Structure 1
C-alpha cells in the first residue's frame, strides 16, 4: 500500500503543471477543489481513502449511568464520486490513493441556514457600526432605500467573499435570504445567483425570495411572483402586522405565491406577543389546510415564541412539530432567549444561521455554526459531555449527530454524501466547547477549505 499513500502536498498538488506550486499557500483549498473536480489535470481525486480518521463509537458511563466520556477509534473512509463507500479499520485493502487525516475528528458538515450575503459590507474592506438603537424595522426599511443602490454594484463580489468565509468555518451549504424590493428589483437576486453559480462545485444552497420592505408595505407582490420563477426555493415574508399592517392578507399573499409555484415558505417574524403569536397561529392554520406546505414552512427568528405563556408554547410547539413547521433561529442572547429545549421536545425542526455579516443591521457575524452550537450549550446549561454533544444538532443537516441519544453511531454511514469537517478534538462535545480550527472542510468529497498537515 505504501506506493498508493500520498502526502497532503502531493494530494493537493497532483497535476502541478496545471496548478502550480501555489497550491500550498493560502489558495490551497480552492486549488484542491479544482484538482479533485477536473479529470483533465492529472489529479482525479474523485476516489480516495481518508485514513486515520477519528470517529465516535459510543458513550462511556459511570455507576449512575451518566455519560462521562465519548469513545472513539481510528477508521478508513473510502470516498468515491462525492459519497462514502465504506468505513473500515486496519490497513486499507483497496489499492487506491490514500490521504492521512492523522487522527483528526470527523464531524458532520455545517449548514448556515439563515444568512444575507446579498447586502453586506463584508469583502469590501468597509467597516460599519452606525447607530441603530431605537430603530424600528420600518426605520431600517427607509435606511435601506438609500443604501441598497450603493451596495448593489459589487454585491456579487461581496457574496463570493462571504461564501469563502462560510466555507472556512466549516459550512458547505447555506440558505440565502435575498432582498426582493422595489429599490433593487431583481438585481440582488441576479447577483447572488451569479455568485453561487460560480461556486457550484464547492458549495450548496437554497434561496429565499425575501420581501425585506414588506409585501404589502412596498407593494412587492408582483416582484415576488417574478422571483418565484427564477430558481428560488422559498417565498419569504416580513412582520405581517407591524410592517404590512394586515396580518391575514400579508400571510395569504405569501402562502399563495408559494402554493402557486410549489415553493416553501420562510418568513422573518420579529413581532412579539400578541401579534407574533397570532401570526404563528395563522401560519399553523394555513399549513394544516395545505398539505403541500407541511415540511416546507419555516419561521425565522420567531421571537414571540420566547414570550409566550408556557402552556400556549407547549400547545403551539406540538402543533408545529406535527405539521413539520421549522424554526430558524440566530440564538439571540439578552432578554429574548428562544425556547429551544421546548421546541426540541416536540420535534420542531431546528436550524441556525449567521443572519447578517458586517452590514447596516449589525456589525457581527462570524459564520461559525459550531459557535452557534456552543452558544446553545451556554444559554441552556448544556455543560456535560452528553448535552454538549447533543447541541451540535442545531448546525447540521436534519439535526444529524455522530451518535444518537443511546450512544450508537449513526453518522457517517455508507452512501452518505461526503460532507464533513476535520478538527483537532477528542469528541464532538470538546469541539463544541472549544471551537477548534476547521483543519479540513469537505463538500461531496472535495476539500473546499483548510489544510491537512
Structure 2
C-alpha cells in the first residue's frame, strides 16, 4: 500500500483553524495538527515554474470503509506526489526524505481529484466578462426566432470574443476544469472569424488548458448553406463537425445528417451534434445516426450527441434498448444534466456502457444566464436526480465530471492516480469525493499537466 498514515473522513476537515478544532472535537491524529502548524509557517504561491518537483500533503482516497458489506465511508491518506515534465512519476509516503534538491510544495491536506472536464461549452460567444445582461424573453419564440436574434447580435459580440473567452476559461479553471470541448459558430454571419479568434486564445492558453473545437453551424447546416464553410473550418483545424436539429431547423433530417457525416468522413474528423428535438423526429435522428455509424465503422467512437433530449421521452424499456445500440456504436452522450420536465435516462445509459459526459453549455449569453461553469455542480445534480444519497453512489457520480476517471473502483481498489498519468488534477476542500459531490466543495487549486493553472499551494 502506498500510504504512510490514514485519516478518517470526519478527522480531516480543512486547513487552518478548522483542523485545530477538528483535532479537539474528533480526535484527529497528531500529525494532522502538526501539518496545520507547519503550513502556517509556509508561504502561499500561485505559480510553479519547476518542471520537476514534489507535492507533499496530498490527500488521496485509498479504499472504502464497510459495515456489513455496505460502503459507509472512504479511507484516505496523506501522500507525496512527484511530478516531472507534466507527468506523475511516483507516489510516495508523505514527506518522504529525498537526497534530491527538488523544490517541495504543500497541498495542505486538500483532497486530490482527477481534473474536471467541461465537455460542452461555447467559449466564442458569451456575455461573461462584460456587464450583466439578462437574455431577452423567449416566451413564444422558436429556435428559428433565436437564430434570427443571434444573427443580429454576433457582430456586436465579435470584438470581445478573445477577451471574454479568456475570462470564461479563467472561470471554469477556478472550478477545476482544465480540459474542455468548445462549440464555435461557423455560419455566414461569423464566417471563420470566431474560429480564428478562439484558436488564438487556445494557443495562448496551451500551457494551462486543453480544448477541442467543434465547428458548429448554429444557424443550420442546410438552412444557412454552411457546408462549404464547415469544410474550410475542418481544414483550418477544427476537431469535430457539428450539427443542429436536422428536422426542426434544416427541415431535411436525412440530408442534413448525411451532409454532416460526409464532411466528417472526408476530413477524418469526429462529430458532435446538438440535438434538442423531443418530437418523434428526435428519436428518428438518433436511430438514423446509429444506422449510419453501423454502416461506416470508422465513425465508431468518434460521434457525440449533445443534449439528446429525445431520450427523455422513452420508457425505461425503450431507453434500455436504445442504450445498448448507442453503446455498440460507441456513441457518446453529452448532457448538461437538465432539471425540470426532461428526465434523461442517464443512469440507464451508464449501466449499458454508454459514455456520458457533461458541460456548462451557456454561462451567460442570449440563450441562458444560469451556467456556473462548475462540473462538481453537474455531478451534484446527477447524484440528486439519478442516484441514491449514499457514500458509494455519491462517489460514483463524480465520473460525469472527470471523463469516467475515478480514484477508486466499485470495489474500493485505488485506480487513480498512477505513475505515468498526466499531472492534471484538482485540490478540493473535502474529505472524500462523496463529500465533494454532495457539498459542491470549493477548489483550492487546479493543475494542468504539472502547471498550476488556478489557485495556490504552499512553498516548503
Q: Normalising by the residue count of structure 1, what TM-score does the alignment of the two structures yield?
A: 0.90
Shift of 1:250: 0.1
Instruction: Determine which of 58, 63, 66 is the counterpart of 1:58.
Output: 63
Alpha-carbon separation, structure 1, partners of 2:292 and 2:226: 21
Question: Aligned equivalents of 1:189 and 1:123: distance in 2?
Answer: 19
Of 328, 340, 347, the residue aligned with 1:341 is 347
- Whether 1:437 aligns to 2:442 is yes
SS in 1 for 2:436: helix
Q: Aligned match of 1:88 in 92, 109, 127?
A: 92
* 2:411 aligned with 1:406: yes
CA distance, structure 2, for counterparts of residue 69 and residue 11 of structure 1: 31
2:235 aligned counterpart, secondary structure? coil
2:427 paired residue among 422, 429, 437: 422
Is 1:155 matched up with 2:157?
no
More off after superposition, 221-230 vs 132-141: 132-141
Q: Match of 2:276?
A: 270
Aligned pairs for 1:157-172 (under 5 A) are 157-172=163-178
1:363 to 366, 369, 372: 369
User: Match of 2:76?
Assistant: 72
Matches within 5 A, 1:108-257: 108-257=114-263
CA distance 1:181–1:122, change in 2 (3 Å): same
Aligned to 2:328: 322
CA drift at 1:9: 6.9
Which deviations, in whole Å up to 9, do the C-alpha atoms of 1:91-121 show, x marking residues without a partner?
4243222111121110001010000111101
Measured in 1, the distance between the counterparts of 2:116 and 2:63 equals 21
2:357 match: 351
Which structure 1 residue ranges, 4+ long, deviate > 3 Å from structure 2?
A: 5-12
Q: Deviations over 1:420-443 (max 9, x none)?
A: 011121100001111221101000
CA distance in 2, matches of 1:216, 1:380: 37
Name the structure 1 match of 2:393: 387
Q: 1:144 to 1:91 in 2, by over 3 A?
A: closer
1:8 Cα deviation from its structure 2 partner:
9.7
Corresponding position of 2:112: 106
Structure 2 residue ranges without an equivalent (≥5) = 1-37
Q: 1:246 to 1:9 in 2, by over 3 A?
A: farther
Cα distance between partner residues in 1 of 2:306 and 2:372:
19
5+ unaligned residues in a row in structure 1: which ranges? 13-27, 37-44
In structure 2, the CA distance between the partners of 1:9 and 1:444, relative to structure 1 (3 Å rule), is farther
Local SS of the residue matching 2:201: helix
Tell me the residue number matched to 1:293: 299
Structure 2 counterpart of 1:18: none
Count of paired positions: 419
How far apart are the structure 1 equivalents of 2:264 and 2:40? 50
Partner SS for 1:272: coil
Is the Cα–Cα contact under 8 Å of residues 178 and 189 in structure 1 kept in the other structure?
yes
1:90 Cα offset (Å): 4.3
How much does 1:153 deviate? 1.1
Q: How far does the alpha carbon of each residue in 1:60-119 deviate from its partner, in whole angstroms, 9 at most, with x for none?
A: 1112x1110000111110000000001111442432221111211100010100001111
Q: Partners of 1:159 and 1:91 in 2: how far apart?
A: 39
C-alpha offsets along residues 339-394 of structure 1, whole Å, 9 cap, x if unaligned?
A: 11100011001100000011000111110001100010111243100000000000
Report if aligned partners of 1:114, 1:354 keep a CA contact under 8 Å in 2.
yes
2: CA distance, partners of 1:451 / 1:419: 15
Q: 2:136, 2:366 within 8 Å by CA — same for their partners in 1?
A: yes
Q: Deviations over 1:41-66 (max 9, x none)?
A: xxxx1111111111001111112x11
Evaluate the alpha carbon distance shift between residue 90 and residue 361 of structure 1 in structure 2; reply closer, same or farther with a 3 A threshold.
closer
Secondary structure of 1:228's aligned partner: helix
- In 2, are the aligned partners of 1:8 and 1:99 still within 8 Å (CA)? no
Q: Which moved more, 1:331-340 or 1:125-134?
A: 125-134
Contact 2:320–2:348 (CA under 8 A) maintained in structure 1:
yes
Cα deviation 1:129-162 (Å, max 9, x = unaligned):
3211232111111111101111111111111110
